[in-house]
Structure 1
């Protein structure tokens, strides 16, 4: 008579590093599928093929896990700025930076889910990540403030609107087109890339024009021409 063996095969023993890697990969997959707000520990441990107690031996709760998990995205914006080959203080560089930001948001599902989480839920994690992103962008913002301070375009406010628009279009892309543009299509993405280049050109050419007008006005003053005449000539131009 055959003997039935009811003993379940044991899972291969994994190191602490292997288990942590499995948790990270499982969390990444689950967040991509459901977002931060709807991902559950039960789903993560099932994907990671571990018992819940193994997760809770490492983390008090899901919030504590998320607190560490999202720190890998603390410097994503400053890293993007540094990795951009072109100087962002040039027309080509600013266009390249805006285009790189757009492509990064399209390709990095976790980053877009983090942005979505920040918008929909306020907690110590989302508040920290939002503040850090703002802090890391301030150096570039201050640089642009100095560059364009004498122009008649508020470059920082305008570029902020553009970046916010990129955020929204990417977060909205699976719901509907926006302005008739489908950024899931090559044609739609191409239009956004072209718009980034156009906006950068507008900033720098307008700033160059303002600087040229200022130089002309200074030369006219040096020749003794009165302010009213200078203003009339410049406004006529």
Structure 2
């Protein structure tokens, strides 16, 4: 059980985190300073230096507690991806909801985009390092199309960030992302797009299997190509690979 000193330290750290969040929500990242955080939290600056070494150390601790990626990546990367379709649906949905429901993290994203000093870049690099095992598992899924699944994910992920950050400005393509029904429609469509992507992959794989079986039953390469719509060179490559 924590003693009195430990409990006070925990309470002070919680006050600091709440103060940073309040400043971000009410004043923006540009107003963050050790003096303002200390004043807002009621925690002496000496405590900050003693427990976090610097104001930057305090901010890094705050960001790590708010960053959707950093909060989940370590756990996610421990599990091999068996079903890429389900994995991508879950990852994108959880990312959307995680960012959408955290006003503080939204402010951090704005901070990250405008951070000329490069402090938040350290956290961005850490995200990329933690995500690398996931990227490596996804890279080859669509290699037959010469398409990197990571690029597709980057495209959707960036769209999620922008639409959430833009929601207080105006509607976007007539959708109001402050309304539950429009958010639900977005998530439904996102899942449909993932299905569309993987449906094509699975359909093409089945077609290729049919081509190989047809050739094994005696059909010529030319006949198989004519029936399946695959090119002669593709059929030859398939039958030679089995």
Partners in 2 of 1:149 and 1:46 — Cα distance? 55
Which of 108, 128, 144 pairs up with 2:138?
144
Quote how far apart the aligned CAs of 1:145 are: 2.5
Please name the residue that 1:7 is paired with.
Answer: none
Quote how far apart the aligned CAs of 1:20 are: 3.0
Distance change (3 Å), C-alpha of 1:42 and 1:214? same
Kept in 1, the 8 Å contact 2:207–2:228? The answer is yes
Quote how far apart the aligned CAs of 1:184 are: 0.7
Q: Deviations over 1:12-67 (max 9, x none)?
A: xx944433332222112212223323323333222212455655666665334213
Distance change (3 Å), C-alpha of 1:56 and 1:144? closer
Which of 208, 223, 235 pairs up with 2:229?
235
Q: TM-score, normalised by structure 2?
A: 0.76
Kept in 1, the 8 Å contact 2:138–2:150? The answer is yes
Please name the residue that 1:198 is paired with.
Answer: 192
- 1:100 and 2:94 equivalent? yes
Partners in 1 of 2:75 and 2:91 — Cα distance? 8
- 1:172 and 2:160 equivalent? no
Please name the residue that 2:182 is paired with.
Answer: 188
Partners in 2 of 1:75 and 1:221 — Cα distance? 50
Q: Deviations over 1:168-206 (max 9, x none)?
A: 111111112211111110111011111121012112211
Quote how far apart the aligned CAs of 1:82 are: 7.0
Distance change (3 Å), C-alpha of 1:100 and 1:18? closer
Matches within 5 A, 1:1-237: 15-50=8-43, 55=48, 62-72=55-65, 73=67, 75-78=70-73, 81=76, 89-151=83-145, 154-222=148-216, 223-226=218-221, 228-235=222-229
Q: TM-score, normalised by structure 1?
A: 0.77
Q: Deviations over 1:202-230 (max 9, x none)?
A: 1221111110111122223333512x443
Distance change (3 Å), C-alpha of 1:178 and 1:83? farther
Partners in 1 of 2:75 and 2:46 — Cα distance? 38
Instruction: Indicate the structure (1 or 2) with the bigger Cα radius of gyration.
Output: 1
Higher relative contact order (CA 8 A, sep 6+): 1
Quote how far apart the aligned CAs of 1:119 are: 1.4
Please name the residue that 2:3 is paired with.
Answer: none
Pairs aligned (count): 221
Q: Which has the higher mean CA deviation after the structures are superposed, 209-218 or 88-97? A: 88-97
Aligned-CA RMSD value:
3.1
- 3-state secondary structure, aligned to 1:37: helix
- 3-state secondary structure, aligned to 2:190: helix
